[in-house]
Amino acid sequence: MLLALIKKEFLALIRDVHGLAALFLMPAIFIIIMSLALKDVYSPSTKALPYAVENRDSGQLADNFLAEWKKRHGSPQANSASWKDEVRGGKLSYVLVIEKDFSRELAAAHPGSGKQLRLIAEPGLESSAFAANNAELIMIANELRARALLAAARMSQRSSQRPLRSGAPDESVPVSALAMIDTERLSAGSRPTAVQQNVPAWLVFGMFFVVASLANLFIQERQCGALTRLASLGVPTSVMIWSKALPYLAINGLQAALMLAVGVWLMPLLGGDALSLAGIHWGALMLVLLAVSMAAIGLALALASLVRTHAQASALGPIVNILMAAIGGVMVPKFIMPEVMQRLAEFSPMNWGLEGMLAVLLRGSDMTGVLIPAAKLTGFATIMIIIAVVFFRRRAS
């Protein structure tokens, strides 16, 4: 019985040419357009990035450096012993590590070769923000070094009564602090690009777009009496629910394969950056995709059981999708939103799916790294399916 109903759903889907076009072509077109349009313009404000500091130096120059950094970037978050995990997971954008000899080496005429100032960034930190922070590190450190060398030269001039030429340190003394600074990301993966943002974003959006298609098919069956006849024949509600859910699980799987293929193979041919899948945890990716699909289908079933007309289904489904996409970081990346909107984004199921995808594709997360977004999506799907079952029984009776 279940197989026969699934076959019926697939036949109805195949006949809905416009619905299939919306499910497959729409997200692919969005990926291409948005990735090419935003290829070089992702420039998040570095002032709003959450960061922490590990200061191992008690010297004055270390304090001066941190005071200047706070003026430019705000106060750091409380440091913890697990800051590497927080950076790797994206909770912190970066951590500044000041080594114990930073002040001494910065003021030395000839500093050693060791790195005394490190910026350790999360894998998903946008390239321009990473480069901007690196440039600021060098600029502030060089300024502090020049002041320290100038002060030392003046003290030396007073003690020896030699005139200080042009009020500057000795020209033989290197002023640049570049050799003391190191920057790195906690991942071997490539830096994020517009493609790496837009492929998972519009993939999640496309998977949720099954709402309109499923709702219209549900209303069509209800209006022609198919649901009532199935109920009169004793078909359990759970069987009717699964007969609709399983075909769309397959549709979402095909969507995911197509969107990832667009990012990997088509975007480089069009002049964009390629999406790299090398080294990702495929089990974690499958878990996120399954959770997103279940959440999308659960929402679709709930809305389908609530609406009464094709007009309602055609209007309500897209409106809900667009609102979740706008809030959840699909249309506008979360990292460039103001803080209030970033907090609001955390309530969007699309954001849960997007964060899970980014955790796998950008941060190299394994199964443990995607459990939280997958659990949120599964919980949302469960609630939606319960709503669908309750109203499904009423509509089918």
Give phi and psi for 274, each to the nearest 5: -90, 145
Cβ pair 186, 365 in contact under 8 A: no
- Check whether residue 302 and residue 223 sit in a common domain: yes
CA separation for the pair 43, 247 (Å, rounded): 40
- Check whether residue 176 and residue 230 sit in a common domain: no
- Check whether residue 296 and residue 363 sit in a common domain: yes
Domain stop point among 161, 185, 209: 185
SS3 assignment, position 77? strand
- Check whether residue 306 and residue 330 sit in a common domain: yes
- Check whether residue 365 and residue 279 sit in a common domain: yes
Q: Specify the number of domains making up the chain.
A: 2
Amino acid type, 216: N
pLDDT at 383: 95
Q: pLDDT tens for residues 317-327?
A: 888 888 898 88
Cβ pair 109, 80 in contact under 8 A: no
Phi/psi class of residue 100: alpha, beta or left (left: φ > 0; alpha: ψ in -120 to 50)? Answer: alpha
List per-residue pLDDT tens for the chain, 397 residues long: 667 667 666 666 666 666 666 666 767 776 776 666 555 555 445 566 889 999 999 889 999 999 999 988 888 988 777 788 888 777 888 899 999 888 888 888 777 767 889 899 887 777 677 888 888 888 898 888 888 888 777 776 666 655 555 555 555 555 566 777 877 766 544 445 678 888 898 899 988 888 777 877 777 777 777 777 777 777 777 777 788 788 888 889 999 999 999 989 988 888 877 888 888 899 999 999 999 999 999 998 888 888 877 777 777 888 888 889 888 888 878 877 777 888 898 999 999 999 999 889 888 888 998 999 999 999 999 999 999 888 877 765 5
- Check whether residue 231 and residue 371 sit in a common domain: yes
Domain span holding position 139: 46-185
Q: What is the CATH number of the domain that holds 123?
A: 3.40.1710
- Check whether residue 326 and residue 209 sit in a common domain: yes
- Check whether residue 30 and residue 56 sit in a common domain: no
The one-character DSSP state at 59 is S
pLDDT at 297: 92
CA separation for the pair 151, 107 (Å, rounded): 10
SS3 assignment, position 53? strand
Strand partners, 94: 51, 121
- Check whether residue 326 and residue 359 sit in a common domain: yes
- Check whether residue 176 and residue 316 sit in a common domain: no
Give phi and psi for 348, each to the nearest 5: -95, 125
Cβ pair 154, 217 in contact under 8 A: no
For residue 332, count CB atoms less than 10 angstroms from its CB and return exposed for 0-12, middle for 13-18, buried for 19 or more: middle
CA separation for the pair 241, 191 (Å, rounded): 42
CA separation for the pair 208, 30 (Å, rounded): 14
pLDDT at 378: 96
CA separation for the pair 291, 368 (Å, rounded): 14
- Which stretches of the chain are assigned E, i.e. beta strand? 51-55, 94-98, 117-121, 181-185
pLDDT at 145: 85
Cβ neighbours of residue 161 closer than 8 Å, sequence gap 6 or more = none
The one-character DSSP state at 45 is -
- Check whether residue 245 and residue 309 sit in a common domain: yes
Domain stop point among 131, 153, 185: 185
- Check whether residue 316 and residue 363 sit in a common domain: yes
CA separation for the pair 391, 302 (Å, rounded): 8
pTM of the full structure: 0.66
pLDDT at 390: 86
Give phi and psi for 118, each to the nearest 5: -125, 140
Q: Match 């549709």 to its residue by tokens.
A: 251
SS3 assignment, position 119? strand
In this structure, what token pair is assigned to residue 124? 């998903």
Domain stop point among 185, 209, 235: 185
